[in-house]
Amino acid sequence: MNSKIMMNPSTQTSKHIPRKLSKPLVCLVLLQLSGCASIGVQPWERQLLAQDSMSLNSEAVEVGLDEHIYFSKEATSGGRAFAGGGCGCN
C-alpha cells in the first residue's frame, strides 16, 4: 500500500513539490560537484579530517537526544537520518 503511494503520488499538492525542490536541489548539487577535478585529498592529507570531531556523525548521542526533542515539538523531522515514526510524544 505504501509503495503504491510512493510510486503514484496523487494529491494535488504533491504535483508542485518537484518544482519547489528543484532550485535548491540543483544549486546544492552544482555547488557540491563544481570543480570536482580539484576537490578531494590524498590519503596522507587526512590528518585533520581523521579527528573524531570532524566525523559527520560525531556526538551521535547528543544529536539523537536533540532530534527526539525536535521531533516531538516541531512538524518536521529527519534530514540527517530517517524521519521515521517512533513515539506519541507530547
Partner 1 sequence: MQLEKNIPIAAALAAATCALLGAPNAKAEESQEPWAIDTAILYYGETDRVSVVEGVLNASKDFGDEHIFNGKLVLDTLTGASASGAVAQPGVQSFTRPSGKGSYEVNGGETPLDDTFQDTRVQVSGQWTQPLWENTRGSSGLNFSKEYDYLSIGANGSIAKDFDRKNRTLSLGLSYQYDSIDPVGGAPVPFSNMLLRSNFDSDDGFDESFADTRQDGSQDKTTIDVLLGLTQTINKRMIMQLNYGLSVSDGYLNDPYKILSLVNEEGLTESLVYENRPDKRTKHNIYWQTKYAMDSSVIDVSYRFSTDDWDINSHTIDSRLRFNLSDTSYIQPHFRYYQQEAAEFYTPFLNSGDSLPTYASSDYRLGEMTAVTLGLKYGQILSNGHEWGVRLEYYQQSPKNSGFDAPGTLQNEDLYPSVKAVIAQLSYSF
The contact set with partner 1 (CB under 8 A) reads: 1-3, 5-6, 9, 11, 13-14, 17, 20-21, 24-25, 28-29, 32, 39-43, 45-49, 51, 53-54, 56, 60-62, 64-65, 68-70, 73-76, 78-90
DSSP string, 1-45: -HHHHHH---STGGGGHHHHHHHHHHHHHHHHHTTGGG----GGG
Query: Considering the complex, what minimum distance in angstroms separates the CB of residue 68 from partner 1?
Result: 7
SS3 67: helix
Query: Considering the complex, what minimum distance in angstroms separates the CB of residue 30 from partner 1?
Result: 11
